[in-house]
Structure 1
Amino acid sequence: MATQAAGTDRPATIHDIAARCGVAASTVSRALSTPYRVNVRTRERIEAAAAALNYRPNIQAKALSSGRTSAVGVLVPDITNPFYFDLIRGTQLQLKAAGYTQLLVDTEESDEVEATTVDQLRKSADGIIVAASRLTDEVLLAAAATTPLVAINRDVPGVPAVIIDTPSATSQALDHLASLGHTRIAYIAGPTTSQSSTRRWAALAGAAEELGVEVRRLGPFAPKTQSGAAAADAAVYSGVTACIAFNDLIAIGMLQRLRERGLRVPEDMSIVGCDDIFGADFCNPPLTTMASPIEQAGRVAVSMLLAQLNALAGGGTRSRSVMPTHLTVRGSTGPAPAKA
């Protein structure tokens, strides 16, 4: 049951939240609809007060007056991939605070499923957030032209986007491996439709030339643990002493396969993953990986989408936001083998 406003029998309103926080009602409205326009500490106080009062916007009234559905579609390529857990949580919490329902769709790493879903959501959602889109640039741009849309980890001019800067962390990983004496390194590539994979390879190729090390591209591989076995076999056959994998799932599969082959990590081969998913530090050995603020990326994407939907006078909208990444060093990387 909804919490009632103090001393009354009515549901809490933005005025109740404003009174609790000592701010104007207009500030509460901005914090819940376009969060990036409000100071972080003030926004957090408002969100905490809204949760404590169990505030629920009058969604039906808003929908009737505006013609909106008060729903937002969130599309991810693989809902079983732990990378997306925090992202989904971030979008969910931010949308809930603003009075929107999240429509979560697993597009199954399929551009066809994604395109069909985007088309269907035009009728049932006010806007769409697409993570790691597999659509072509032209199709994604066309979708953004007809529907409020924000892409995560997909950089297409004209499409509002939140970019997780994994290429910079990939370069950090290469620096780390080179400092350990590795001169033959493999990049275990992700899907050919993944812009992130392409950007990371470009960053590696440029950094390798500066460092004077050899980097080979192996793959593509599906971003799943099961792909790790084939990736590990390819890496061993190629003669490299270290690998930078497209994501942690592939890297974890590689750890398992290398153990089956009797090879030690990191003594015989070093492995670097990407995403720092839950469990990466529980591997044997713990996985060196690239970490980024995934939940925050989801929140920022929602803020950018709400800015499009509300189009507040003079408020403006952001078209691009870059989230920083960093390398987390654990036990799966070590000095290059002496025989190498």
Structure 2
Amino acid sequence: MAVTIRDVAQAAGVHISTVSRAFSGSHLVKAETRERVLAAAAELGYRPNQTARALTTGRTQNIGLIVADIANPFFPPLIKSAQSRARLCSYQVFVADTDEDPRAEEELLRTLARQVDGLVLVSPRLANEEIAALGGEVPLVLVNRRVPGLCAVLMDVAHGAALAVEHLAGLGHRRLLLAGGPRNSWTSAEMRRAAEAAAAGRGLEMTLFAPNSPTEQGGIAAARAVVEARATAVIAYNDLVAVGLIEGLDALGVAVPEEVSVVGIDDTVVGRLNRPRLTTVAMPTAAAGRAAVDLLIQAVEAKDADQATAETTLGTSLVVRDSTAPAPRPEPAADAPPAA
């Protein structure tokens, strides 16, 4: 027999109305209760009647998800988790890619806004003022961007960048380079702020190479800057930049990690498969996708401004692998006396 809403309510130990509110994303349902209801529904194979619900609510049951570069391995886990979460709540997801182009981003936002109940915008490149204006046209949740008046899911990249500096300082590195990301990148700005503060606190020298393409080619381009700055360690904007940087340094005859240590950001499959395996800051991308969908559905249902401008911050951690090592010892001067 078909699974009903009553079956889900009984399995989750809640009232039928609570199940209905959980699927609509209502802010009246506590997060832990919603998790229990969705888990029970998934186990029983329950799906709400989407057609009847759309007629009742006047909504499309569609949401848009716009990412900066779908080819970047940072984004697929986020997209997958967002789709899975939306499906449990009886929503479908339209995914679009801006190819790191702010104008394409604006065009997609305006186009999708007419076809969906709300939008998730991941790592946007538009200026804050432009995003805020578009946020007045449709419920909007940002991932890795903070704009006053809009919902946001933030990954604590500042904490991760500080951990990276502390790790490198502990290995004896004193001259660092930060290979930043593109203009209008919240992540790049947060990295710079936190890394420079941590380096200053340790008395380290830090060189900035930015703005820069968030790609493997961007990393290759940064390699010469590392050599010219005589840096012994680099913190890269993301894993793609870090992998490109290792490739670029190798082409210049610089060994990683023996001569230069490299730290990435993201903890993607690219870094895990690279040789040397990449030391990196793990970003909670899958959790961010789920949280963004939850916030968006809540924003669509919100009756008060506080719910419509909620913000969630997710933690980050450092994963130490093979691309970092103790700083190389400086070569003795030609006229230096031999060691005793």
TM-score, L = length of structure 1: 0.91
Offset of 1:159 from its aligned partner? Answer: 1.4
Tell me, in whole angstroms, the C-alpha distance in 1 between the residues paired with 2:158 and 2:123: 15
- Structure 1 match to 2:276: 285
Q: Residue 17 of structure 1 is aligned with which of 2, 8, 28?
A: 8
Partner of 2:136: 145
- Equivalent residues of 2:151, 2:308 under 8 A apart: no
* Conserved? CA contact 1:71–1:102, under 8 Å: yes
Q: What residue is the counterpart of 1:9 in the other structure?
A: none
Farther off after superposition, 17-26 or 42-51 = 42-51
Residues 60/253 of structure 1: CA separation in 2 closer, same or farther (3 Å cut): same
Q: Residues 234 and 315 from structure 1, CA distance in 2 versus in 1: closer, same or farther, beyond 3 angstroms? A: closer
Question: Is 1:196 aligned to 2:162, yes or no?
Answer: no
Matches within 5 A, 1:290-301: 290-301=281-292
Task: Describe the SS at the equivalent of 2:114.
Answer: helix
Shift of 1:265: 1.2
Could you tell me how far 1:105 is from its partner in structure 2? Answer: 0.4
Q: Deviations over 1:93-140 (max 9, x none)?
A: 111111111000001111111111111112100000000111111111
Equivalent of residue 26 in structure 1, options 9, 13, 17: 17
1:124-167, CA deviations, whole angstroms, 9 ceiling, x for partnerless residues?
00000000111111111111122101000001111111111101
Partner residue in 1 for 2:164:
173
Question: Pairwise mapping of residues 54-73 of structure 1 onto structure 2 (< 5 A)?
Answer: 54-73=45-64
Q: Is 2:258 the partner of 1:276?
A: no
Please state if 1:310 is matched with 2:310: no
- Secondary structure at the aligned position of 1:289 is classed as strand
Match of 2:313, SS? strand
Instruction: Name which of 248, 261, 274 aligns with 2:252.
Output: 261
Q: Is the 8 A contact 1:27 1:38 kept in 2?
A: no
CA distance in 2, matches of 1:38, 1:63: 24
Structure 1 gap segments, 5+ residues each = 6-11
**Residue 207 of structure 1: how far off its partner (Å):** 1.8
Superposition deviation, residue 309 in structure 1 = 1.1
Aligned counterpart in structure 2 of residue 182 of structure 1, from 152, 169, 173: 173
Change (3 A) 1:317 1:120: closer
1:101 aligned residue (92, 99, 107): 92
Structure 1 residues 32, 106: closer, same or farther in 2, change over 3 A? same
- Indicate conservation of the 8 Å contact 1:35/1:43, yes or no: no
> Which residue identity is paired with 2:248?
R
SS of 2:173's partner is coil
Separation in 1 of the partners of 2:88 and 2:306? Answer: 20
Partner residue, 2:330: 339
Cα distance, 1:24 vs structure 2: 1.7
Find out whether 1:86 has 2:77 as its counterpart: yes
Find the aligned partners of 1:282 and 1:43 in 2 and give their Cα distance. Answer: 37
SS at match of 1:124: coil
Secondary structure of 1:204's partner? helix
Give per-residue Cα distances to partners, 1:178-218, cap 9 Å, x unaligned: 11111110000100121210121111222222111010101
- Residue 335 of structure 2 is matched in structure 1 by none
Change (3 A) 1:26 1:333: same
C-alpha distance 148-39 of structure 1, shift in aligned 2 (>3 A): closer
- Could you tell me which residue of structure 1 aligns to residue 107 of structure 2? 116
Q: Kindly provide the amino acid, as one letter, of the partner of residue 57 in structure 1.
A: P
Query: Relative to structure 1, is the Cα distance of residues 239 and 322 closer, same or farther in structure 2, using a 3 angstrom cutoff?
Result: same
SS at 2:136 equivalent: helix
More displaced stretch, 123-132 vs 63-72: 63-72
1:38 is aligned to 2:30: yes
> Structure 1 residue 313: deviation in Å?
8.4
Letter in 2 for 1:221: N
Q: Secondary structure at the match of 1:174?
A: helix
Deviation at 1:317, TM superposition (A): 4.9
Instruction: Say how many residue pairs are matched.
Output: 330
Work out the CA distance in 2 between the residues paired with 1:19 and 1:314.
33
Residue identity matched to 2:123: A
Q: Give distance in 1, aligned partners of 2:21 and 2:54.
A: 18
Deviations 1:263-286 (A, max 9, x none): 221110000000001232222111
What residue number does 1:8 align with?
Answer: none
Distance 1:29 1:219 in 2: 49
Match of 2:155? 164
1:209 to 200, 216, 222: 200
Q: Secondary structure at the match of 1:146?
A: coil
> Which residue identity lines up with residue 54 of structure 2 in the other structure?
A
Q: Deviations over 1:20-58 (max 9, x none)?
A: 333222232233333884353x54443333224332222
Identity fraction in percent: 40
- Which stretch of the first structure deviates more once superposed, 53-62 or 96-105? 53-62
Bigger drift between 231-240 and 153-162 goes to 231-240
